[in-house]
Structure 1
């Protein structure tokens, strides 16, 4: 089945670049182009595209406002095309929370590899189940153990991998963590320069301290470390002396990605072994499946997001099919399970 695409960008040059990239894929048909949201509105009504590519920075109407109108009035999968600026990154993150399927950076400024994935993202978007997400998604909603006094980490460390749909999923999970949560390391497939804005966004929404990971920084309770775009993140050090730290490197892409969830999970299998807890969330492809399997083989607890709550049931499915997932859970219950599982304090006792 051919996927029908509408390209929306105020730059004729960029529309041409996007069109040239997509025309290489015989499963994609470009049905129209628009230079601003008003042209796009008419084109959407006339052409009824399967997927829309949308520039974050649009004339005549804010791109986020236009996206909200699309999601509310004529829900259609949207891929955001963004410049790699701090303003572009912030707007793109908001767009992903509102309901955009995914994002790619503009190739003139960004990673060509990311832009080359546009066709695959468009075809995946055409198959997705749309969900309207509120602009203020992720406002902290407490888990069963919100207050630090009711939670004491049991010494385990958490590794989380996510891709398409991961912005929403990670906000849902991490906003329910207590301030003194177990040390947590995160790989979210995201272009360079976006991850710092994402970490800042999470830090505002979550009780723990969330930062973009730095090479050599100590791994501590109450902290969440987000892998920078275009760098692999690993857990390094030894569990015996407690001198654990983040290791960043620019090795080859693994499972097509840098950062890669496989790299993160494999490092947990090597360093944390049974004292690790691995979580694989929504995303395209197979990244993380093999690494999560390695974690489970060392005795670590492993969790996969279930199909019903995944924007794209790709990464969790691949991990489940090879036996890497010990427990499948809906997104809304994953944080509660992690918090209860890693709490050294017993806070729930049934009456005799």
Structure 2
């Protein structure tokens, strides 16, 4: 069919390849144009077919998927959907893949028949239309990491989805450890979020962990919103900003929910910096507008630096974003704006 997204399937299991090919070809938006059993074979198939997107198994012979992905994103960046096993080790590897530039991931069940056809097709289709950002090597740390940023009564709230792993790493790498505390709502299952938290804590100088109900936050701390039966919010108390775990109450569509995180801080808006990053949909747009209307500083990731310009676009279109900034400059722009924002609010 015309205008189909061209897909190459890479997996060492012939059974899994055949199932994926059958599933993907059943969607009129997708067309499988090639397959490979390992990374070495994949290089030739990609050269011959020039796909729009590839699915890539993590565990493969000769060269594992992560090593191949790392090389691919440096030499020929393209949308990639990782396939990982349903294990703790698999989730850590998948998060690493997302940090390297993969757009999304799929669980690899023991039995290929258990693949969710609709979810597989939608994930691959969305990835095929994503804007891949070329990776320029290891995360670069902020030079002046001890420069005091913002006021003691401020908090930084961040929302992200597809493409968010790499975006968040880039943002935090430029944020001084003396900055106000950061709370992040990143759309991910709980197992992936725990792996992401562990990864960030190992590569960043900040104190990074999963959000815990009742915790009082301090400068230099970064907390990831939980994906559980409750939503993560933040409120200001006499002791400082505090994590609050609350019932969903209408925010069930996404867990964690950017909308809920932003809403929880609206009454303290003059002390909030809200940032909306790459992602599909409009989560966070409405309550980001409320934050801005009530005195918060609001920033959106620029279209050119987004993997998926969905959430920032939605926020921009309703006037929730004061300024759009390239992901590599959001941290430095935040540092520059906090003092002028403080003066304007006095």
Which bin holds the TM-score, normalised by the shorter protein? 0.7 to 0.9
Aligned twin of 2:279 = 283
Alignment partners' CA distance in 1, 2:151 and 2:228: 31
Q: Post-superposition shift, 1:180? A: 2.7
Q: Post-superposition shift, 1:40? A: 2.4
Aligned twin of 2:262 = 265
Preserved CA contact (<8 Å) 1:37 1:66 = yes
Equivalent residues in 2 for 1:167-186, closer than 5 Å: 167-186=165-184
Q: Post-superposition shift, 1:280? A: 0.2
- Map Cα deviations across residues 45-90 of structure 1 (whole Å, 9 max, x no partner): 3333221000111122111222233334443321112224333233
Q: Mark the CA change 1:175 to 1:113 in structure 2 (over 3 Å): closer, same or farther.
A: farther
Equivalent residues in 2 for 1:181-330, closer than 5 Å: 181-229=179-227, 233-239=231-237, 242=240, 244-247=242-245, 254=252, 256-270=253-267, 272-330=268-326
Preserved CA contact (<8 Å) 1:157 1:277 = yes
Deviates more, 1:220-229 or 1:64-73: 64-73
Alignment partners' CA distance in 1, 2:52 and 2:192: 27
User: Which one of 76, 90, 96 corresponds to residue 94 of structure 1?
Assistant: 96
User: Which one of 112, 125, 128 corresponds to residue 126 of structure 1?
Assistant: 128
Aligned twin of 1:2 = 4
Q: Post-superposition shift, 1:304? A: 0.5
Deviates more, 1:288-297 or 1:94-103: 94-103
Alignment partners' CA distance in 2, 1:309 and 1:301: 20
- Map Cα deviations across residues 205-258 of structure 1 (whole Å, 9 max, x no partner): 32321111123333333211012345654324554564622316567764x422
Equivalent residues in 2 for 1:46-61, closer than 5 Å: 46-61=48-63
What is the TM-score when the length of structure 2 is the normalising length? 0.85
Equivalent residues in 2 for 1:156-167, closer than 5 Å: 156-167=154-165
Q: Mark the CA change 1:70 to 1:146 in structure 2 (over 3 Å): closer, same or farther.
A: closer
Alignment partners' CA distance in 2, 1:36 and 1:183: 43
Deviates more, 1:202-211 or 1:20-29: 20-29
**Aligned residue-pair number:** 338
**5+ long unaligned stretches in structure 2:** none
Q: Post-superposition shift, 1:181? A: 1.9
Equivalent residues in 2 for 1:33-52, closer than 5 Å: 33-52=35-54
Alignment partners' CA distance in 2, 1:230 and 1:10: 34
Preserved CA contact (<8 Å) 1:232 1:264 = no
Q: Mark the CA change 1:336 to 1:117 in structure 2 (over 3 Å): closer, same or farther.
A: farther
Equivalent residues in 2 for 1:63-78, closer than 5 Å: 63-78=65-80
Q: Post-superposition shift, 1:147? A: 1.0
The secondary structure found in structure 2 opposite 1:66 is: helix
